[in-house]
Amino acid sequence: MRVTVLASGSGGNACVVEAGETRVLVDAGLSAKEIERRMEARGIRADSIAALFITHEHNDHASGAPVFVRRWDCPVYATAGTAAAIGLEGDLFTPYVRVHPSRDARVGALGFRAFATPHDAAESVAYAFESDDARLVIASDLGRAEEAFVDFLRHATTLMVEMNHDEDMLRDGPYTWPLKKRISGGFGHLSNAQSAGAMFRALGPRLRRIVATHLSRTNNTPAIVHAMLTRLVERSGSNVPFSIADQIAGLEAFEA
C-alpha cells in the first residue's frame, strides 16, 4: 500500500492511498484545483481516483469535496451524518456510499473500516485501510483517546495520527479561552502527549512507520513532536521510523 500526503493541518488535509489498481483520496480540505495541482506534481492523475473518503465535514477536510467529485465523477464515502452535513442528502448528482462505523467494507483492492471519533462534528470517523499485509490507520481530529481507539490503532503497519498541540503552548498561547477549551476538550484535538500515549499503548511488532499529522502552526512545532516521537520509539525499544506531515509540503510517498 502506498501513501502520499498532499497536505496536513488545520489549513487543509488530503492524502492519497493506493493498493494495486485502486487509488482513493482521503479528505479534500483544499480547493479542488489545489488538490489537482498537488497530485499532478506527484504524478497522480485526478481521473484515477476511485473514491473520496471524508472523515468529517469541517472545511479543512471537506471544502474541496463538492467540486472535486463533480469534476472527476468519483463517489463520496462518508458516514450518514457527514454526508448530511456537507449537503449530500438529496443531491442526486453526487454518487454517495454510506460508511457505517465499525463495519468492514471494500473499494477495489482496499479493505476499509471506519471508527467513530469524539469530535465536534456531526459523525466524524477515522479510517483503517487494509491490503495484503498492510494496515494503515488515518486518525485525526479527535478530542480524546479511549481504550476502543487504542484497539483501533493496534496491528497497524502504519499509524498516521494527529499530534495537534503541545499542551503548554496551547495554554500559554494567543488563542481565546473558549477556543483553548474547545481544542483541549474531549471533542477537540489530540495533544502530542495524548497521541503519543495512545500510540505507545497500541504499539506492536507489525508497526513499521509512524506519521504525525495535523500539527497546529500556532500551538506546536515539528521539533517538539520530533522529540516526543524520539522518546516514544526509545521507550518502546523498537526502531520504528517516524515522520511529520507538513501543511505545505505534505509528505513524500511511502509504503504503508
Q: Which residues bind Zn ion (CB under 5 A)?
A: 58, 60, 141
Q: In angstroms, give the least distance from the CB of 141 to Zn ion.
A: 4
User: Closer CB to Zn ion, residue 54 or residue 207?
Assistant: 54
| Closer residue to Zn ion in complex, CB, 23/58 | 58
Set of cell numbers at residue 215: 500539527
Residue 164 or 243: which CB sits closer to Zn ion? 164
Q: Find the shortest distance in angstroms from Cβ 175 to Zn ion.
A: 15
Q: Which is nearer to Zn ion, 111 or 222 (CB)?
A: 222
**Cβ 190 to Zn ion shortest distance, Å:** 11
Burial (CB < 10 A; 0-12, 13-18, 19+), residue 89, is exposed
* 15 touches 54 (CB < 8 A): no
Question: What does the alpha-carbon distance between residue 197 and residue 140 come to, in Å, rounded to a whole number?
Answer: 15
At closest approach, how far in Å is the CB of 78 from Zn ion? Answer: 14
Residue 123 or 141: which CB sits closer to Zn ion? 141
State the minimum distance, in angstroms, from the CB of residue 27 to Zn ion.
Answer: 8
Residue number with CB closer to Zn ion (120 or 167): 120
Question: Least distance from C-beta 159 to Zn ion, angstroms?
Answer: 17
Q: At what angle do helices 32-41 and 65-72 cross, to 10 degrees?
A: 60
